[in-house]
Amino acid sequence: MNHNSSDSEKKNFLFFLNKVHPPSIEDPVIGALTRPARWSSLAGLLQKARRTSSFVSSIKKLQLYVHVPFCERLCKFCHCARGLLKSKRDLDLYIHAVARQMERQSKACEGMDASHICFGGGTPSLLDEKQITFLLDAADAAYPVQRRKIFFETHPSSWTRSKLDLLLDRGLYRLSMGVESLEACVLKQVARSQTRQKVLSSLYVARAAGVPYVNVDLMSGLPGQSIQGLLEDIKKVVQEGANIVHVHPFSSLPVNELCGPQETFVDFFKRRSDMMHEAAKVLKASGFKRKGLGAYALNQAGEDHQEEAYTRLESAVLGFGAYSIGQFPGALFYRTKPSGQDNGFNSLEACPQDLSFVMARYAIMAIITDGLDEKVFLNRFGVSLKQACKGGLNYLKSLGLVGSFKGVWKFSASWEIEHLREYIALSRVLYGEDFLLKLQKRYAKQYNPGTDYRKGKTLLHSFSNHWLMALYYQMGV
Ligand code: SF4
């Protein structure tokens, strides 16, 4: 792609960027810089970084993440990293491989507080009681702590009372249920198998049994879904005890499957956007606070919010299994890749992560959530916010997008990050040009200006934010 893109190319891009790509706080920007690596080299890199960098050694919290990339059925809307589970034996092989990985990285993390473990997927609730116990025991052996908080994702159809009891016994802290919708006709259209009754009774039982945080994932804009339907779903799950709710915007490939029978693209995007707005209103009226894009929580300490622990960079994350991500702030970032034979377990990409990236990311996430405090920033990084953001915040202030009061920076009331576009605008200012130019070089090759992405059938192969960010930046819009 060259710098003199035609107007139609720009429109093409902007259509994709603004209308098709779902809002996301995922930040794989740094992933754009990764190169093939080996598991065996990670431990050495970590050990060295912890020895030589005072910032890295100041990070004491370690979050363990286990990805379970299997599902019983594949829902139409889903972009998660997952595949069909063929046999229970695959799960057995997989958990043994995960346990080996845990063991291999443990020495490099000695002395860290690994008191959080998250199971995501895919469908972690496909693991039976024995397999869950095996993984928790493996984590205990490799990263001993007195008591671990467990975050666990479930699908209603594979969730059982005995799994709940087992996890509660081991420290279940947050149960996350993929619900998407409670309406049978909507679920049928996206090939999702579950019953309303099972969802609601699972929520009720979880809260009654004492799970501190119960999260429900819903979607907006699903085929056949109305605003009213979504709002009723929200009210119902809150009534049954959900105290965290995520509302994800529906997006699918190919794009033409997004629209209902009588619906144009414009209709669809309006319906989806109206749903996100109305959902926010209902949740806020019920006492929920915004915790990220589409994420809302009721009376909850930020520290214990899974996404925040990750995005605020107060802790390191070690991801295990296929399709997982690991990050040691200020030291390295890695992700496991799928590959034919080993299900991605041994295939890995990694890159160093420098402190300027960490500071920019921290600043962005703090502004999105509770506000960015200059004193906290200085304490955290030993660098002033002004120095780190190189005038970026003042620039955003001059545009009326952010404001500061008593040294705390927040979005101005009329402007919240809801779309990737705003996120990118903010990132462009805070990350700085050098970093984005690196991305630009790598990803400019992947855009084919000859493809009309507005037509929808042959949408971009990649949904990665960093790719879009690079191009957005290059186009200077
Ligand atoms: S939504 Fe959940 S159950 Fe459905 S395919 Fe995606 S990960 Fe699997």
Choosing from 278, 310, 342, the residue where a domain stops is: 310
**Do 234 and 266 fall within a single domain?**
yes
Residue 359's domain spans which residues? 7-22+355-475
Residue 123 Cβ < 6 Å to ligand 1: yes
**Do 396 and 444 fall within a single domain?**
yes
Intervals of the chain under pLDDT 50:
1-5, 10, 12-28, 301-310, 340-341, 343-344, 415-421, 443, 446, 453-454, 456-477
Residue 178 Cβ < 6 Å to ligand 1: yes
**Do 268 and 373 fall within a single domain?**
no
Q: What percent of the chain has pLDDT over 90?
A: 36
**Do 17 and 38 fall within a single domain?**
no
Ligand 1 centre and the CA of 76: distance in Å? Answer: 8
Could you tell me if residue 305 is inside a domain? yes
Could you tell me if residue 334 is inside a domain? no
**Do 81 and 153 fall within a single domain?**
yes
Residue 158 Cβ < 6 Å to ligand 1: no
The preferred substitution site among 67, 70, 78, 246 for testing ligand 1, maximizing ligand atoms within 8 Å of CB, is 78
Choosing from 310, 335, 367, the residue where a domain stops is: 310
**Do 147 and 99 fall within a single domain?**
yes
Choosing from 277, 310, 343, the residue where a domain stops is: 310
Is the backbone peptide bond immediately before 144 cis, with ω within 30 degrees of 0? no
Q: What pLDDT is attached to residue 413?
A: 55
Residue 12 Cβ < 6 Å to ligand 1: no
Residue 71 Cβ < 6 Å to ligand 1: yes
Tens-place pLDDT, residues 318-367: 999 888 888 888 888 888 876 544 544 567 888 777 777 778 777 877 77
